[in-house]
Chain A
Amino acid sequence: MAGVKALVALSFSGAIGLTFLMLGCALEDYGVYWPLFVLIFHAISPIPHFIAKRATYDSDATSSACRELAYFFTTGIVVSAFGFPVILARVSVIKWGACGLVLAGNAVIFLTIQGFFLVFGRGDDFSWEQW
């Protein structure tokens, strides 16, 4: 386990990211809650990685088509999470300021998720019991 400090730091950055998202929705100037749908993208973004990890039982350290397919879909989910608020702003459902806040929140939350994989993905090289 990488330690409590890393966990606290990651939860702080996650909270900051969610704060940006909520600011983009709840400020008096904005007041529109459609951007909360990007939370769906945040929630499903680690799923392809876990599916690929479970599906390839061998230690395919070199190259695995399943892993790359997972990267492909994860990238798609990340791109969609950034594209969705931009499109909302383009049709004036939300204002551009709210869009900017939501994009900043997206960036911080995806950094947090990647930070989780960096910090807590180390110790499970060949042990499958953690699931």
Chain B
Amino acid sequence: MSGFLEGLRCSECIDWGEKRNTIASIAAGVLFFTGWWIIIDAAVIYPRMDEFNHSYHACGVIATVAFLMINAVSNGQVRGDSYSEGCLGQTGARIWLFIGFMLAFGSLIASMWILFGGYVAKEKAIVYPGIAVFFQNAFIFFGGSADPGSWFSNNHLEPKLFLLPGDASLRSPSSCIACAQAAFSRSQTSARPLDSSEAPEGPCGQFATLVSWLAKSWPLPFLILLVS
């Protein structure tokens, strides 16, 4: 029993090269927007304040702000080894990420509080809005951690989804050099030529992964709808 999780090192088993980033960003998009559509659904079906107190939307808004904050910094900035420092520097990037994660965890906890304190404990007849708030925040949280720019993803090329204000642009020579070095070292191990454009199976692969992620994540909202 002690070593059975040793084989579950996901950063090694998913080695699809640059497709991992694509899959991760598609997965993040699916999760994030599904979360928002769940809360839109709840808000449309229960417009009255006594069934669904619309101030509960604040939870999802803070979760979205946290999502943007977490994805604004890359692993390299936090570790201090990226070429482009950004306007905050390494310590600033750590504080930014810290605050982002605090907001993310806080909104997740708040959504659980809303579900249990606002709906379950009060034994309301209509529980679905509370479930919707919880699932919205859960989906946004997991979407944020699935993103290739986030801290959880073990992304060696560390692309940044958003630029901090005053940051060096993505097209700065130093970041290009870093990218090219990483790509060159990876191309040494793989059979692909360095300057190949998207492989023929690129969009096919993207589409297949999109379909597979849609297929995987879509039962959840319908399960939720069935529960309601």
Contacts and interface: CB of A to CB of B under 8 A. Distances in A.
A114 interface: yes
Interface in B33-52: 33-34, 37, 40-41, 44-45
B9 interface: no
B22 A71 contact: yes
A61 B195 contact: yes
A117 B26 contact: no
B157 A90 contact: no
A76 B30 CA distance: 6
A80 B33 contact: yes
Contacts of B26: 71-72, 75
Nearest to B204: A118
A62 interface: yes
A78 B34 CA distance: 10
Contact of A87 (B28, B33, B41, B195): B41
Nearest to A63: B157
A65 B158 CA distance: 9
Contacts of B204: 118
Contact of A64 (B32, B40, B159): B159
Given A74-B29, A76-B29, A117 B179 contact: no
Nearest to B182: A62
A117 B149 CA distance: 26
B30 A122 contact: no
Nearest to A84: B37
Contact of B161 (A61, A65, A74, A78): A65
A68 B161 contact: yes
Interface string A49-71: 00000001111111111111101
A126 B37 contact: no
Interface in B102-137: none
A62 B179 contact: yes
Contact of A90 (B29, B41, B206, B207): B41
Contacts of B149: 65, 68
A114 B203 contact: yes
Interface string B10-42: 000000001001101110111011100100110
A75 B160 contact: no
Contacts of B45: 90-91
A127 to B, nearest CB: 11
B33 A63 contact: no
Contact of B198 (A61, A71, A83, A91): A61
A121 interface: yes
A90 B47 CA distance: 13
Nearest to B28: A72
Contacts of A30: none
Contacts of A69: 25, 161-162
18 contacts: A61-B18, A62-B186, A63-B179, A65-B161, A69-B25, A72-B28, A72-B147, A75-B210, A79-B37, A80-B33, A80-B37, A83-B37, A83-B40, A87-B40, A91-B45, A114-B203, A121-B203, A125-B197
Given A61-B197, A63-B179, 10 more contacts: A62-B179, A63-B157, A65-B170, A72-B25, A75-B26, A75-B30, A86-B37, A86-B41, A90-B41, A122-B200
